[in-house]
Amino acid sequence: MSWNKDAAVNYARNHAGSASQHRCAHFVSNAVRAGGARLINTNYAKDMAFNLRAAGFRAVYGAPMKGDVAVIQPIAGHPAGHACIYGGDGTWYSDYKQNSMYLGNNWASAAPSYQLFRHN
């Protein structure tokens, strides 16, 4: 099955809750699979980079594009990090709908390192 970013984003949009369930890696991984990529599970969002690369994604820089996955490193109090997929319209999805890549003011203030991944 070839990569279909629209299917991945539609899955993420349709399965996003109204608030965090602290299961972003699970939800984003399922969205990536819905898009046709073979992705192995990771326990923590911060550790998704290796498996994304193995599934045909590559690290990219610059403005996100629809279907890009952000892997964000931990901040104090959030040791698992965070992952989300870009909807292409300014909205990010993890286990819930987000208005930015970062979860909120504490994440934006901490500005943890992150990497964007795009399927080849």
Residue spans of the domains in the chain: they are: 5-119
Tokens of 59: 């690290």
pLDDT above 70 for 7: yes
In this prediction, what percent of the chain has a pLDDT beyond 90?
Answer: 82
The superfamily CATH assigns to domain 5-119 is endopeptidase domain like (from Nostoc punctiforme) (3.90.1720.10)
Edge-to-edge order in the sheet of strand 82-86: 57-60, 114-119, 69-72, 82-86, 92-93, 97-98
Q: Report residue 1's pLDDT band, with 50, 70 and 90 as the boundaries.
A: low
Give this prediction's pTM: 0.95
Tell whether the torsion through CA atoms of 44, 45, 47 and 49 is positive or negative: positive
pLDDT above 90 for 107: no
